[in-house]
Structure 1
Amino acid sequence: MMNHFDNNNVPDKPGEVILRKLFHEFTILTEKKIDTILTTESLEKPLAKWLQRGEDQIFDQLLTAFGTTAEHCLPSQLRLLFEWYQRQIDATAVFAEENQRIIKSNQEAQFSSKSGSLTKSNIQSLDNSDIEIYYLLEKRDLAVEFIFCLVLIEVLKQLPLHPGYDDLTNHIEKLAFKHFKFREDAQSNPNLSNINMIADLYAEVIGVLAHSRFQSVRKCFMNEFNELRSRDPGPITTHSIISLLMGMKFFRIKMVPIEEFEASFQFMHECAQYFQEVKDKDIKHALAGLFVEILVPVAATVKNEVNVPCLKNFVELLYSPCLDLCTKKKHCLALFPLVTCLLCVSQKTFFLTNWHYFLAMCLGHLKNRDPKMSRVALESLYRLLWVYMIRIKCESNTATQTRLHSIVNSLFPKGSKGVVPRDTPLNIFVKIIQFIAQERLDFAMKEIVFDLLSVGRSIKMVLTPERMSIGLRSFLVVADSLQQKDGEPPMPRTLGVLPSGNTLRVKKTFLNKMLTDEMAKNIGMSHYYPY
């Protein structure tokens, strides 16, 4: 039985006992998980299948417990976690070093000096158990990194309650940014997918850390960024910059206080200036993707902040050059989402002045032969429509009717049995109708839903199952929303699950009662219910 007294017979504090117990369970459980991964799975199998949140209920509960106790003892938790991490990494370091020597000696024995690099084909032809052990040890370290990140993500959520401790947060930053460095040697590594997953996990860690230590994270990023920019241009430099940018993809702008909002957009402004300067297409596209990741959550919640000069200037700096790039085939797929986001975080006057031109571009691309482009155009359309209907509350009746008719006729062509674009998840069309119904219920029902359900047509048997499914589901979603008094639907987001397995979606629960005439009258649907 564990003795909770030290040599001076002074009892431990209750918190120390709990923390020790947690780490004891954590050590046993993680050791079992790592052993199972190494003994039963192939190198290529993603670690997420074993370690991600949602895969093991007991492990999830342990992680949640770490997050809860971190409110009271975060610094102690981090120090214990660092010690565990270092012990695990040290345990394989010597063996891995020895295996590197074995690999080199095998290379020299079996290959000429002309084929001196250890390529994937060389490794396969060696068929050496020592090389397999080397990669297995690397996978063990990756599993340790995965678990380490999962705990960091949970406990760092309590960091705002613990000001200071720069030595601890700086150590985390150093570890994280080390994983954002491009590894040319890893591109033929059987562990590559897991290496990339660990980089994504550290990006999630940085996202949580930046929530309360933004200036420190920003400084660390800019130091790395400026060093890479000073290098000679080339493929390695390009890949290195992109890898670093991806390390910031889970950074989220704090809407309050205003000082932090402004500081975040000052950082975004610096990145936007580089976006305008850089000529490399891949870097430009990576930056555009990063801006979209950061701006979508802002677009979902922004209100009066659109009038803050730092955001207004950011939009004005990027909008015109990005719109021009959208007209070029090599850029349009990457830039469409960014132009959409810039409009979604712009002022009302800016949006209404500019969106109709970009809307026409979106509608034109719905029939694009490239399914990726047509899907991007549709997603841009339904985000723009959300802003137009939900946040801006439309324009005059005539202008609104004109805009809505152009959208509806493009998505659901008259006389067609299908929808545009084809092979698209039907829930996107349902959401579009829901957004319209929020402010123009009569239009949504009579002009869209009735048409999809062939209401009032002389020929009753028209086989349009896709359109009818959208019509029925839209009616049910709108009626359910009114019945449950849900209020305004949220802006659509694409990312539902983070690398850690934490989910961003809230599961919607629908009523399972029949819609009666009385209820239809109460929620304003009685005019449409008899059909």
Structure 2
Amino acid sequence: MAARRVGNDLSRRKSDPTSSKLGNNEAVVAAELPWGSLKVVGNMSIDFHSLPAKFTVQNLLLELFSMFEKKIQYVCIEEPLDKFLNKSLKRCDDTYLDNLLRTLGNVSEVCLPSILEALIKWYEEQISIRKRSTNENKDRSQKALLAVNYLFCIVLIELLPQLHFHPTDCEKYVNYILHLSFNEISKGNRDPAAYGINLHNCLIVAETFAEVIGVLSQTHAKLVQKTFFTLLNECRKETPLTQSGVTNIISLLMAMKFYRIKTSQVSEIEQGVSFLDELASYYLEIDLKQKDLKHAIVGLLVEILLPVAAVSL
């Protein structure tokens, strides 16, 4: 039945409206884009009668999520467990994926809130699915979780620079992403033994979430600073400071690794200097015995100041 339907549809013109009527569980003929070539696809939740812009975004997202599913399966089942995610899912290594992300980034100029909503729903659903399957093979399920987080970050890094086109419409998504990023960065440091063979991949994911925070700092510097110091002050309440507390603070500092001070406006420079001043004050308050903590703060100051120095040269 499905084969006959496909054969009949292939003989129709693309403009024939009856070719977009879908039956349950049938293969259908559709175009990748309204003006593209025909291809046989499964019965997906695309509204073929929608406007071209909506259709394009839906198709892009479905194509992206389908590709991610294949990559997650490949990384977790066919590859060795100890292979690093940033090698398996290397950015700029898959031309088709790069083009998809670039296209999605371009269209997000006009519909970023909707794309972020769909992306977050996909992420939460994937995390829920992977967590339910942890009993089957703990290490592989854990790597799948990390792969989902890594791919989620890759998309965010591409999309979030468009936030300046939607200064108020994306606030709830920005808050969600920011708190999620800080939480995921500290997760591996809280209990590194729980990750076993996946510990290095956990650190890779943490660094990728730090990149997300860095991108957010370009449009929401005040919010990033406020969230950082709120979390830092929570950690500082612990007296005396235990090794666990020190580890949590260091992970927070590492989360700001990609924070960058913008130098195009005087107000932005002042805001950046204020942030550095607070960090320096905290450095002076720390006991001399906490060498690891002092070293982490100095390292962060260097990470932030070097790009500023490069711009001023």
TM-score interval, normalised by the smaller of the two chains: 0.7 to 0.9
1:16-46 deviations in Å (ceiling 9; x for gaps): 1110110121122111111111121122110
Q: CA deviation digits over 1:387-423, x for unaligned, max 9?
A: xxxx5xxxxxxxxxxxxxxxxxxxxxxxxxxxxxxxx
Q: Secondary structure at the match of 1:191?
A: helix
Q: Secondary structure at the match of 1:44?
A: coil
| Structure of higher RCO (CA pairs closer than 8 Å, 6+ residues apart) | 2
- Cα 1:295–1:155 change in 2 (3 A) is same
Distance 1:172 1:52 in 2: 22
**d(CA) in 2 for partners of 1:298, 1:25:** 39
CA contact under 8 A between 2:20 and 2:48: conserved in structure 1? no
The question of 1:93 aligning with 2:103 is answered no
- Residue 236 of structure 1 aligns with which residue? 244
Q: TM-score, normalised by structure 1?
A: 0.48
- The answer to whether the 8 A contact 1:49-1:55 is kept is no
- The one-letter code matched in structure 1 to 2:296 is A
Distance 1:65 1:146 in 2: 19
SS class of match (1:179): helix
Partners of 1:248 and 1:236 in 2: CA distance: 19
Equivalent of 2:110, from 42, 65, 72? 72
Match of 1:260 in 2: 268
In structure 1, the partner of 2:283 is 275
RMSD: 1.8
Identity rate of aligned residues, in percent? 38
Tell me the CA shift for residue 224 of structure 1: 0.5
Task: Give deviations 1:321-375, integer Å, cap 9, x for gaps.
Answer: xxxxxxxxxxxxxxxxxxxxxxxxxxxxxxxxxxxxxxxxxxxxxxxxxxxxxxx
Aligned to 1:180: 185
Aligned equivalents of 1:25 and 1:217: distance in 2?
Answer: 32
Q: Spell out, residue by residue over 1:445-499, the C-alpha distance to the aligned partner (whole angstroms, 9 max, x if none).
A: xxxxxxxxxxxxxxxxxxxxxxxxxxxxxxxxxxxxxxxxxxxxxxxxxxxxxxx
**Correspondence for 2:141:** 137
Distance (whole Å) between structure 2 residues aligned to residue 184 and residue 258 of structure 1 = 39
Q: What do residues 116-138 of structure 1 show as CA deviations (whole Å, max 9, x unaligned)?
A: xxxxxxxxxxxxxx5xx012111
Offset of residue 149 of structure 1? 0.2
Q: Give the 3 Å change call, closer, same or farther, for CA 60–239 of structure 1 in structure 2.
A: same
- Kindly provide the amino acid, as one letter, of the partner of residue 177 in structure 2: I
The Cα of 1:2 is off from its aligned counterpart by: 5.4
Cross-structure match for 2:167:
163
Shift of 1:154: 0.3
Do the aligned partners of 1:252 and 1:294 also contact (CA within 8 Å) in 2? yes
Aligned residue for 1:223? 230
Residue aligned with 1:271, SS: helix
Q: How does 1:40-439 map to 2 (within 5 A)?
A: 40-96=78-134, 99=135, 133-164=137-168, 165-181=170-186, 183-187=189-193, 189-232=196-239, 233-279=241-287, 280-302=290-312, 391=313
Residues 138 and 17 (structure 1), Cα distance of their counterparts in 2 relative to 1, 3 Å cut: same
Q: 1:11, CA displacement in angstroms? A: 4.5
TM-score by length of 2: 0.80
Change in CA separation of 1:278 and 1:60 when aligned onto 2, cut-off 3 Å: same
- Report if the CA contact (8 A) 2:131-2:145 is conserved: no
Distance 1:299 1:140, change over 3 A: same
Tell me what 2:63 maps to: 25
Amino acid at match of 2:307: P
Cα deviation, residue 267, structure 1? 1.0
- Find the aligned partners of 1:185 and 1:240 in 2 and give their Cα distance: 10
- Tell me if the contact between 1:253 and 1:264 (Cα under 8 Å) persists in the aligned partners: yes
**Which position in structure 1 is the counterpart of 2:40?**
none
- Of 179-188 and 31-40, more deviation after overlay is shown by 179-188
Q: 1:183-206, CA deviations, whole angstroms, 9 ceiling, x for partnerless residues?
A: 343236111011111110110000
Contact 1:70 1:77 in 2 (8 A): yes
Q: Distance in 2 between matches of 1:84 and 1:52?
A: 21
What is the rounded CA distance, in whole Å, between the counterparts of 1:2 and 1:50 in structure 2? 37
Query: In terms of Rg, which structure is larger?
Result: 1
Alignment gaps of 5+ in structure 2:
1-18, 22-29, 31-46
Structure 1 segments of 4+ aligned residues over 6 angstroms from their partners: none
